């Protein structure tokens, strides 16, 4: 299995999930500007979509779209899902919110645009974080242990730091808690996201 990723992109959620699961996998970085992989392959030849994440399975099947990949990982490694008859639905509900509301709201922050558009995006993001802050059922979204939805949310919390967006106290604490997990530290180290002194 091979994960195509870009440092600090939304693919970090999948990277963390695979480490958290103890999965055996390879990884290959993708330059989203040149659309070349680290080994020099045209990324469009791997997926015409041209964006990360993409997960190549051992049987040659390629999964794209973050919600689908994270749902597949939780299916293979049920400890990364939520319990109960509605467990999978609740995780998909959270993943969809992170993807279609939060992740999408960050788009203006990553691209060239007016200061006004960025200020508007920051206000939208802060409102969304206020909403998510009320969802925690314990140390994580669904209780005492993290699910794939926490990993995607964590990437959004890192992006908040990157763009100087303040977090409600429960999400600030969640970011700290997540950042201390060995799987998260390993994935971040592999993506060059830990300060040298901290790596």
Ligand X SMILES: N[C@@H](CCC(=O)N[C@@H](CS)C(=O)NCC(=O)O)C(=O)O
Quote the distance between the C-alpha of residue 62 and its chain's center. Answer: 18
For ligand X, give the closer residue by CB, 136 or 190.
Answer: 190
The nearest distance, CB 56 to ligand X, in angstroms, is 15
Closest separation between CB of residue 99 and ligand X, Å?
Answer: 5
Residue nearest to ligand X as judged by C-beta position: 51
For ligand X, give the closer residue by CB, 28 or 139: 28
Q: How far is the CB of 105 from ligand X (least distance, A)?
A: 12
Q: Which is nearer to ligand X, 28 or 65 (CB)?
A: 65
User: Which of 156, 112, 141 shows the shortest CA–CA distance to 9?
Assistant: 156
In 3D space, the residue among 132, 116, 121, 133 whose CA is nearest the CA of residue 165 turns out to be 121
Q: Residues interacting with ligand X, by CB under 6 A?
A: 9-10, 32, 50-53, 65-66, 99
Please say which residue, 173 or 193, places its beta carbon nearer to ligand X. 193
Shortest Å, Cβ 69 to ligand X: 7
Kind and range of the H or E run holding 16: helix 12-21
Instruction: Answer for the pair 128, 100: CB distance below 8 angstroms, yes or no.
Output: no
Return d(Cα 118, Cα 165) in angstroms, integer.
11
CA 70 to chain centre: 9
């Amino acid at each position: 299995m091979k994960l195509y990723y870009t440092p600090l992109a939304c693919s970090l959620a999948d990277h963390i999930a695979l480490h958290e699961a103890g999965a055996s996998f390879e990884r290959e970085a993708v330059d989203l500007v040149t659309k070349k992989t680290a080994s020099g392959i045209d990324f469009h030849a791997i997926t015409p979509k041209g964006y990360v994440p993409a997960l190549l399975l051992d049987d040659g099947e390629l999964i794209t779209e973050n919600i689908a990949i994270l749902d597949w990982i939780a299916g293979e490694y049920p400890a990364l899902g939520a319990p109960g008859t509605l467990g999978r639905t609740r995780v998909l509900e959270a993943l969809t919110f992170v993807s279609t509301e939060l992740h999408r709201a960050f788009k203006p922050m990553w691209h060239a645009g007016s200061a006004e558009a960025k200020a508007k995006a920051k206000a939208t993001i802060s409102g969304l974080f206020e909403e998510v802050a009320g969802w925690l059922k314990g140390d994580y979204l669904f209780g005492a242990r993290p699910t794939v939805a926490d990993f995607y949310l964590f990437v959004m919390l890192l992006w908040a730091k990157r763009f100087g967006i303040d977090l409600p106290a429960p999400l600030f604490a969640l970011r700290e808690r997540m950042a201390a997990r060995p799987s998260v530290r390993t994935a971040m180290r592999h993506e060059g996201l830990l300060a040298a002194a901290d790596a």
